[in-house]
Amino acid sequence: MKRLRTFLKGVLIFIACLILIIIIMQVLPPSKKSAHNSFMKDDKPFLCVDTSNNSFGPGNTILAFDEALKLDTQVLYVPLCLTKDEKLICSSKLYLNDFTDIEVINNSLDYFFISDYLLEEIETLNFGYKYDNGLYKNILENVSDKKETLTNNKLKVVTIEELFIKYKNNNLLFIFDILDELKRGEIAIEKLISVTNEYNLSERVIIKSKHENVKNALDKYPTNLFSSTDKEKNNFFLTQMLGINYFDKSKFDMVECYNYETINVLNLFEIKINCFKANYVNRFHRRNVAVLGHIDDESKIKDILKTNVDIIIMDDVKILEVVKASLND
């Protein structure tokens, strides 16, 4: 009986010590990748727009970006692709079929990849060709200078340099998504970092990529801001759930979340969690990590506005208007 009491006492002491260690780890200041993060809100969340689905005009054109800015957008989400001559352009796909007249020009339904075309060739394509039942379909008929006509109609492909020149004085923030992978993705990172630093906009740009090797290429640029990979996000939530987040040494400046996400637990099983719970969001904030929340339908607006997320991203004009109205209530 005495041995049992001694054993139980030892177990209780062990559990008490374990709880104490976990509490201390929650109190200790976590590591921070960046001392300052421009994407963390002061009061109301930043409004971010993805124009890719054509709700604001032909996706990723100056026409669409201008329309988004008229609606008080503060952050632009912009996917980027690398051309054959290694120029970065705004495009939500790695091929040109979905939004230009490339199929008509080539009389073919084959895929025409951006990586196979020089920038000067892409600059003569109509990026509003398939928008809104052909609204801009015929603007190049009987035109001698296609590039000039497209530029005047704000329907020419947009390069990263043109985007910065156009909007650098608007206090806009940018989230750039590198779509290329492997070596081309790494080249795209180098190009983007170079241009961002050239225009002195590094504090207003976050870079993301779903490709691990591309994200890893960012390790060479610790002063620039970048988003987490899915693996880093998964590990963050898992370690926070277990109370050992102090030991998670992932380095990123933004995390993208939907309301509920599935977390992989050591490749054994999966659980669904509410990513916007206060303890998760607060932990991100203690690390100077901005939390970006997706809204894909109006029914979720009230829920996300009750949270402490820093950025709300939308791809629909109607949802943006409802969010703005809700923030002003």
The pLDDT assigned to 140 comes to 95
The pLDDT assigned to 239 comes to 85
The pLDDT assigned to 94 comes to 98
**Cβ contacts of 7 within 8 Å, gap of 6 or more:** none
Distances (CA, A) of 113 to 100, 110, 117, 190: 12, 10, 7, 21
On whether the pTM is more than 0.75, the answer is: yes
- pLDDT single digits (tens) 20-65: 555 554 554 456 667 789 999 878 899 999 999 899 999 999 999 9
Q: What SS3 class is residue 173? A: strand
Stated as kind and residue range, the H or E segment containing 50 is: strand 46-50
Distance CA 286, CA 10 (A): 35
The pLDDT assigned to 6 comes to 66
Partners of residue 311 on adjacent β-strands: 46, 292
Rg of the Cα atoms in the chain? 23
3-state helix, strand, coil in the chain (%, to 5): 45, 20, 40
Task: Sketch the domain layout of the chain as residue ranges.
Answer: 34-328
The pLDDT assigned to 20 comes to 53
Mean pLDDT, each 10-residue run in order, the chain (329 residues): 62 60 51 82 91 93 96 96 98 97 96 98 97 91 95 97 96 96 96 96 95 87 92 87 75 89 80 86 91 85 86 92 86
- pLDDT single digits (tens) 230-258: 889 998 888 887 777 767 778 899 999 98
The pLDDT assigned to 26 comes to 52
What CATH number was assigned to the domain covering residues 34-328? 3.20.20.190
Distances (CA, A) of 64 to 16, 125, 156, 239, 323: 58, 17, 12, 40, 19
Q: At what angle do helices 230-241 and 278-286 cross, to 10 degrees?
A: 110
The distance of Cα 83 from the centroid of its chain, to the nearest Å, equals 21
Distance CA 46, CA 317 (A): 16
End-to-end alpha-carbon separation of the chain, Å?
66
Rounded (10°) CA dihedral 240, 241, 243, 245:
-20
